[in-house]
Homo-oligomer: A and B are copies of this chain.
Amino acid sequence: MLDETAKGVFTIAVTPFTPDGAVDWDSVDRMVDFYIAAGATGLTILGIMGEAGKLSAEESLGIVKRVVARSSVPIIVGVSAPGFAAMRALADQSMQAGAAGVMVAPPATLKTDGQIVTYYHNTAEVLGEAPFVLQDFPLVTDVVVPTSVILQIVEDCPTCVMLKHEDWPGLDKISALRAASGKGARRISILCGNGGQFLLEEMLRGADGAMTGFAYPEMMAQVVAAHDAGEIDRARDIFDAYMPMIRYEAQPGLGLAIRKYTLAQRGVIAHDTVRKPGGALSAATKAEVDALAARQAVRLAGLGL
């Protein structure tokens, strides 16, 4: 079961499809193996980048079972839903299938501090004993969650054990949360998203690792490891080597297709198919990714990686 001590790299998994849009189960297995080999200490499935919204209820459950069966590391399942009945159904099924916890993003209808707190009170009640991750991703959810609200949820809901941090800008928020836990607030795990764009700064502010899906997940493992070993300059060298690609993949909307293209190029998944709505990359975009990858490889070789 997931708890507040979780750290390292929980990779956000894509959902591989065949060219006709069906779930590509063989690629699911290969992807799980790849992520773990790249240093994942956990996996998060059915998140926004897992195209969760585009799956039927049956497909979602199928993926949970497949990944849990294959994985040697804990699995977190995204269970955000328009309503609590659907959330409860997927959460219960996932926990029964062996997931370590679930993740919930706030719906766009929430406007005030009090509405957000109430929503997570309801969420915690619906989820029962399942530990959950609060996903704070305003760029996509359009819900701004103040630090005080996160702290309130942490105080009120013992099953909230982790923050998926991807507010932007969000570095001072990490500092504020850590300062609060220094003064007695329960300390939960903070894993950071945003494609890894601020990973090193986030670690230095007190984060416990990354939860994101950059197509070179070894970057996250390497940066976190170097940071944890106190080798900050080394961490910066690695981080900077990947930076042009991190930036490029972080383009909203397009990012998932870039990520799948790279994973397919790397042989992890068989196809770079994205379900509709969501299109294929242009030839020019693919060429840009290729050029960035080639230069990145040279820089990494220079670092002995």
Contact = CB atoms under 8 A, between A and B. Distances in A.
Contacts of A114: 113, 146, 148
B113 A169 contact: no
A295 interface: yes
A103 to B, nearest CB: 16
A144 interface: yes
A126 to B, nearest CB: 9
Interface residues of A, number: 60
A204 B285 CA distance: 11
B51 A83 contact: yes
Contacts of A108: 108
A70 interface: no
B284 A169 contact: no
Nearest to A58: B89
Given A146-B114, A169-B253, A252-B169, A85 B175 contact: no
Contacts of A85: 54-56, 59, 275
A57 B277 contact: no
Contacts of A86: 55-57
A7 interface: no
Contacts of A288: 171, 201, 204
A122 B58 CA distance: 21
Contact of A168 (B83, B88, B168, B251): B251
Interface string A171-189: 1100100000000000000
A244 interface: yes
Contact of A175 (B55, B253, B284, B295): B284
A262 B210 CA distance: 29
Contacts of A171: 284-285, 288
A82 interface: yes
A16 to B, nearest CB: 15
Contacts of A146: 112-114
Given A171-B284, A285-B172, A82 B58 contact: no
A14 to B, nearest CB: 15
A96 interface: no
A5 interface: no
The 4 A-B pairs at the shortest CB distance, nearest first, are namely A54-B83, A53-B82, A111-B144, A169-B251
16 contacts: A53-B82, A55-B86, A56-B85, A56-B86, A57-B57, A85-B275, A112-B112, A113-B113, A113-B114, A114-B148, A169-B251, A169-B254, A171-B284, A175-B284, A204-B288, A243-B244
Given A112-B144, A198-B247, 8 more contacts: A55-B83, A57-B57, A57-B89, A111-B138, A118-B277, A168-B252, A169-B253, A236-B295
